[in-house]
Amino acid sequence: MNQRPSFFAELKRRNVYKVAVAYIVAGWALAQGIAQVLPVYDVPNWVIRLIVTLLVVGLPVALILAWVFDLTPEGIQRTETLDATAGAARKKSHAWIYVVVIGALLSIGLFFLGRYSARTNKDHAADPPNESNANSKSIAVLPFENLSSDKENAYFAEGIQDEILTKLAAIADLKVISRTSTTKYKSKPEDLKIVSRELGVAHVLEGSVQRAGDAVRVNVQLIDARADSHLWAKSYDGDAKDIFGVETAVSQQVADALQTKLSPAAATAIATAPTNNSGAYDLFLRGEYEERRAEDELDRAAFDRAKTWYEQAIAADPAFALAIARLAENRMQTHWFMEKLDPAQLESVKSQAEQAITLAPNLAQTHVALGVCYYYGYHDYERALSAFSKAIELQPNNSSALEYSGYVHRRQGKWEQCLKELQQVLERDPRNAALAGNIASTYGALRMWKEADDTARLALKIDPHASDAMGALLSKLIESSGSIDEALRVLNTFPAENKMTSSSVGDVVSIIGTRAYVYLLARDFDSARKVWDTAEREERSRQLCAQLALDFLQGKGAAAKTKAAETKPLLEERLREVPEDILAMSELGWVNLVLGEQAEALKIARQAAEMLSPGRDALFGPATVIGLAEIQAWIGDTDHAIAALRHLLSIPAGSVASIADLKMNPVWDPIRNDPGFQQLLTLKEHVGP
C-alpha cells in the first residue's frame, strides 16, 4: 500500500510553490510599475492603493487555484482528472519559469520608465509656460489697436483694454495675465502660439477701437491661442458715453465662453461702472495713460501730468472713488521714486485713500492705494498687508496687491514668503522684467548667487534695459566672487544713460549709484566721476554728493571740501522739510566727514542706522548699518566698524556685505591692515533665508 504523501510534498507536486513564487514576482513587478508610472500621470493615490490591495488579496486565490488546477502543455486541467488518467505521463510545464522571467523584466522596464517619466516631468516643470500645459481657463488681453484718425485717442483704446482686464481679474476661476506683460506684444501678433507659450495662457482677447467724436466702434475677438482658432468675434457700435456697457458686455461674454464660475462679487464687479460721469471717465483714462508711462519710465513730468488729469476727473465727479485711489497711488509713487513728501502731505494722501474706501469699499483698487500709503509712507507693514489682503479677496487676480505683499514680507525678513508670492506674481506677469529683477535682488540679499544670476539674466532677456536686473547681475558678479573684470565687461553692454541708482539706502553705494560703484571697485575714479558729469534729471545735491564722495575716496580732499561746503546747506534744508529722508541723512554724513566734522558725521550716520535698522527693514536696514560702519572706519572707530561687518556677514545682507567686496572696496582702506579686519576675510558668509 502506497504511503500517502505529506501535505508539503503535495503542495510541491501540485506546483503551488512555483505559482506562489511566480505570483509574488509578477505582483511585485506590477506594484513597482504602478508606484513609478501612475503618479507621473496624476493618477489619484487611492487608485494605486486599491490595486496594491487587490494584488495582496489575490495571492491566496492564486494558491487555491494552483491546488485545484494544473497548467499542462494541453492547457489548464483539474489536478484530480490528471491523477485519474491511467498511464498518462504527466509532462512538466515550464510556464512558471517564463512567468518569473517575464515578471522580472517587466519590473525592471517599468522601474526605468517611471524614473524617466518623473525626470522628464521635473525637467518640463522648470520650463517656461507653454501652450500644451496652459490652463484652459486662462487669458491675456492684448493691447487694443487704435484705429482712430486722431492718434491721440490711443489713451482711449488703452483704457478700454485695461478696464476689461480689470473686470476679468475679479473672476477667481480665471487666470488673467497682467497688463505689464501683455503690453509687450502687438495688438495682433503674427504667431499666437508663441504668445501662448510665453505667457502660459490658452486664450487671448484681441481688439481695436475706432473713435470719431462721440461715436465709437469696438471690435473684439476671442481666440484659442494654442490652435490659433477663433472662438467668437463681435463689433460694438455706440456712443462714447456708453462705453461702460461695452466693457461689461465683452467681459461677460469672455467669462461665458470660458465657462468660468462667477461669484456674486465678481458678477457685481463686471457689471459696475467706476463712474456715471462719462466726462470724468475720459479725464481719468488720460490720467491712467500718463501714469502707466510715468511708472514704466520713472518720469517725473509724466507723474505730474497724471496727477493733473486725476484731479480734473475728481473735480468732475467728487465721488469717483477709483480716480481718488489712483491719485493717492500717484502721489505715493512720486514720494517713493522721486521726492519725499513731508508729514502733512503724507497724511493728506492717506486721507484720500481712506475716502476712496468709504466711497467704494468693494473696489479692490481703493484698498491697494491705502496699502501703498501704509507701506511707502509709514512703513506700517501690518496695516499695509491687511489692505493688500482685502484687495486680493475682492479681486483674486490682482497682481499688484500680491506683488506689494511680497515686497512687504521682504522688508519683514520673511524671505520664503516673499519669494513664494513674487514667483506667483511672475506666473501671472511672466514678461515683467522689473519684477524678475526684484526677485533676482532678493536672491542676492540671501547670497543665493546662482538663482540671482539666472533670474537677472532672464529679466534682461525680457528687457535689456531693465535697471533692476542690471543692478542685480552686477551685484552678483561683485559680491559672490569679486569678478570686477567681468562686471566691467557686463556694465559696458548696458545703456550709458542708465545711472542705475542703487536700490539700497544708507551706504556709499546709494550715494554714488551702482554704475559708479563698479568703477570705484576697479579704482577707476575718472570713469566713476563721468557717470555724474551731467545731472539733467538729478538734483544738484545728488550730483555734488556723489562727486565729493569719489573725490574723498581718491584722496582729493580739497576738491571734496569745496563740493561739501556747497552741498551742506542744501541737505540741511531738505532734512528740515523731511526729517526721515534716509538718503539725505547718509549724504549729510559724508559731507560732514569730508569737512572734518567727525562727531556730526557719526551722529547722523548712527541716527539713520537706528531709524532704519535691520529689525525694522530687513532689506534696507543692512545698508544703514554698513553706512555707519563706513563712517566709523574713517574716523578711527575700528572695533565698532569690524563688529558691524561681522554681524552683516552672518545675516541675509548679500547685496551690501560680502567678503569679496571687503577685499577690494576702497571704503575699507583705513582699516584694511587691522588684524580684526583680516580675520573677517576668513569667515563663512550666511547663505539663504
**What CATH number has the domain bearing residue 192?**
3.40.50.10610
Q: 245 with 306, same domain?
A: no
Q: 257 with 174, same domain?
A: yes
Is residue 218, in this structure, part of any structural domain at all? yes
Q: 578 with 533, same domain?
A: yes
The type of residue at 15 is: N
SS (H, E, C) 346-359: HHHHHHHHHHHHHH
Mean pLDDT of 374-389: 96
- Please, which residues have CB within 8 angstroms of residue 312's CB and are 6 or more apart in sequence? 283, 287
Q: Among 273, 299, 321, identify where a domain stops.
A: 273
User: Could you tell me how far CA 195 lies from the centroid of its own chain?
Assistant: 20
**What CATH number has the domain bearing residue 595?**
1.25.40
DSSP element (H, E) containing 441? helix 433-445
> Which residues make beta-bridge pairs with 382?
none
How many other CB atoms are there within 10 angstroms of residue 296's CB atom? Answer: 12
Structural domain harbouring 29: 7-125
Confidence of residue 125 (pLDDT cuts 50, 70, 90): very low
Supply the pLDDT for residue 595: 96
Give the three-state DSSP class for 554. Answer: helix
Q: 205 with 310, same domain?
A: no
DSSP element (H, E) containing 326? helix 321-337
Q: Among 99, 125, 151, identify where a domain stops.
A: 125
Is residue 78, in this structure, part of any structural domain at all? yes
**What's the pLDDT tens digit per position in 320-363?**
999 999 999 999 999 988 888 989 999 999 999 999 999 999 99
Supply the pLDDT for residue 677: 97
Q: 539 with 598, same domain?
A: yes
Give the three-state DSSP class for 674. Answer: coil
Cell of 447: 547670497
Say whether pLDDT at 42 is over 50.
Answer: no
Strands 135-141, 229-239: pairing is unpaired
Is residue 20, in this structure, part of any structural domain at all? yes
Opening angle at CA 622, ends 459 and 481, nearest 5: 55
Q: Among 431, 452, 474, identify where a domain stops.
A: 431
How many other CB atoms are there within 10 angstroms of residue 14's CB atom? Answer: 19
- Mean of per-residue pLDDT scores for the chain: 85
Say whether pLDDT at 536 is over 60.
Answer: no
Cα separation, 619 vs 278, whole angstroms? 44
Contact 306, 291 (CB under 8 A): yes
Is residue 689, in this structure, part of any structural domain at all? no
Is residue 168, in this structure, part of any structural domain at all? yes
Answer positive or negative: Cα dihedral of 409, 414, 420, 423.
positive
Say whether pLDDT at 257 is over 70.
Answer: yes
- Please, which residues have CB within 8 angstroms of residue 519's CB and are 6 or more apart in sequence? 488, 525, 527, 528, 531
Q: 34 with 91, same domain?
A: yes
DSSP letter (8 states) at residue 151: G
Mean pLDDT of 25-34: 64
Say whether pLDDT at 296 is over 50.
Answer: yes
Strands 135-141, 175-176: pairing is parallel
Is residue 266, in this structure, part of any structural domain at all? yes
Supply the pLDDT for residue 477: 93
Cα separation, 52 vs 279, whole angstroms? 69
Q: 313 with 208, same domain?
A: no
**What CATH number has the domain bearing residue 294?**
1.25.40.10
Cα separation, 611 vs 622, whole angstroms? 12
First to last CA, the chain: 85
Is residue 440, in this structure, part of any structural domain at all? no
State the virtual CA torsion across 364, 369, 373, 374 in degrees, nearest 10: 10
Is residue 480, in this structure, part of any structural domain at all? no
Closest CA to 396 of 138, 172, 166, 137: 172
Confidence of residue 119 (pLDDT cuts 50, 70, 90): very low
Closest CA to 273 of 321, 325, 231: 321
**What's the pLDDT tens digit per position in 49-87?**
667 677 677 777 766 766 666 655 555 656 666 555 544
Supply the pLDDT for residue 501: 65
Q: Output the furthest CA–CA distance in the chain (Å, rounded).
A: 127
Q: 112 with 156, same domain?
A: no
The type of residue at 590 is: W
Mean pLDDT of 412-425: 96
Number of helices followed by number of strands (H, E) in the chain: 33, 8
The per-residue DSSP string of 605-622 comes to: HHHHHHHT-TTT-TTTHH
Q: 140 with 32, same domain?
A: no
Mean pLDDT of 581-585: 92
Say whether pLDDT at 304 is over 90.
Answer: yes
Contact 308, 326 (CB under 8 A): no
Radius of gyration of the chain (CA): 34
Cell of 198: 510665453
Q: 530 with 676, same domain?
A: yes
**What's the pLDDT tens digit per position in 183-219?**
888 778 878 888 888 999 999 999 899 888 888 888 8
Higher pLDDT among residues 124 and 84, named by residue: 84
Q: 199 with 226, same domain?
A: yes
User: How many structural domains compose the chain?
Assistant: 4
Q: 227 with 366, same domain?
A: no
- Please, which residues have CB within 8 angstroms of residue 471's CB and are 6 or more apart in sequence? 437, 441, 500, 502, 503, 514
pTM for this entry: 0.77
